[in-house]
């Protein structure tokens, strides 16, 4: 029996790049960066107008597929109507609704789980069968360093992003054997409409075009985890291994949040 193909980074000649959450922020910047690298992009968002602007500015290079990532039928239809196989899927759509225990809002919590976690699962379900059948492709899941450990005001957002980290890690075992590359993207603070909501200091904040450059270069290099800016995210990685007795007081002092062991 022949050995399974070894996963490799997707190339523009392999098919389309699919970017969800493409109408703003990191998604918009990633689309532009992929176009500069010669890709034809399938762009998905709930907001059709920005997608139309992208398509108008890049005729023949952007395939518009408006839709909600939580809508299974719409995501399957987007992939089916693309006209070419999806070789690279960057599952980026998400939302952020800051929340503390004092203002816990079940509807807001559910929205973040539905969009960030279930929306990624829904788009994954739409694109995965074709890649498995071809035994080729690349799937990049956009999570966040907020998923490394629980942080203040991240009750819904961090929970969803932690789930995405686990999802990508779990997928990699199976997809490695199937010839499909898996990537996990964990950005730090990036200037987007979502982070514009924050009313606290954001260390090492970078612009969306810089984030897009690091994402696309990381995907081409085939690294499993793409995280940036490293001078910030590696400190957060350190927090992952601290015992709770050290973790809670340290984060409480750093963020001004009250915490008890």
Total tally of structural domains belonging to the chain:
1
DSSP letter at 90? E
C-alpha distances out from residue 202 to 9, 68, 102, 254, 257, Å: 32, 29, 23, 12, 15
Separation between Cα atoms, residue 149 and residue 130, nearest integer Å: 34
Q: Residue 246 is part of a domain; what is its CATH number?
A: 3.40.50.720
User: For residue 197, is it within any domain?
Assistant: yes
Separation between Cα atoms, residue 49 and residue 66, nearest integer Å: 9
Active site residues: 157
User: For residue 182, is it within any domain?
Assistant: yes
User: For residue 5, is it within any domain?
Assistant: no
User: For residue 162, is it within any domain?
Assistant: yes
| Residue-level pLDDT, tens digit, the chain, 261 residues | 567 789 999 999 999 999 999 999 999 999 999 999 999 999 999 999 999 999 999 999 999 999 999 999 999 999 998 989 999 999 999 999 988 899 999 999 999 999 999 999 999 999 999 999 999 999 999 999 999 999 888 899 999 999 999 999 999 999 999 999 999 999 987 776 665 555 555 666 788 899 999 999 999 999 999 999 888 888 889 888 999 999 999 988 887 765 443
User: For residue 154, is it within any domain?
Assistant: yes
Q: Can you give the residue range of the structural domain that contains 64?
A: 12-255
Q: Which residues pair with 64 in a beta bridge?
A: 43
């Amino acid at each position: 029996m022949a050995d399974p193909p070894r996963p490799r980074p997707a190339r523009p000649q392999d098919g389309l790049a699919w970017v969800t959450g493409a109408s703003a922020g990191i998604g918009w910047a990633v689309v532009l960066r992929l176009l500069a690298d010669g890709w034809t992009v399938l762009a998905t968002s709930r907001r059709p107008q920005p997608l139309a602007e992208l398509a108008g500015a890049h005729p023949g290079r952007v395939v518009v597929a408006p839709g909600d990532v939580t809508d299974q039928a719409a995501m399957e239809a987007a992939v089916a109507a693309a006209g070419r196989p999806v070789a690279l899927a960057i599952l980026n759509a998400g939302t952020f609704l800051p929340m503390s225990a004092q203002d816990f809002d079940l509807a807001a919590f559910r929205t973040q789980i539905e969009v960030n976690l279930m929306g990624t699962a829904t788009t994954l379900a739409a694109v995965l069968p074709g890649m498995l059948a071809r035994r080729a492709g690349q799937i990049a899941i956009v999570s966040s360093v907020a998923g490394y450990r629980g942080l203040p005001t991240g009750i819904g957002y961090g929970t969803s992003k932690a789930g995405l980290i686990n999802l990508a890690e779990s997928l990699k075992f199976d997809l490695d054997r199937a010839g499909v590359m898996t990537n996990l993207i964990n950005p730090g603070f990036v200037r987007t409409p979502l982070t514009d909501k924050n009313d606290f200091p954001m260390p090492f904040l970078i612009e969306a075009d810089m984030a897009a450059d690091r994402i696309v270069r990381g995907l081409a290099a085939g690294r499993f985890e793409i995280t940036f800016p490293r001078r910030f995210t590696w400190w957060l990685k350190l927090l992952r291994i601290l015992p709770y007795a050290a973790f809670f007081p340290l984060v409480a002092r750093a963020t001004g949040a009250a915490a008890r062991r």
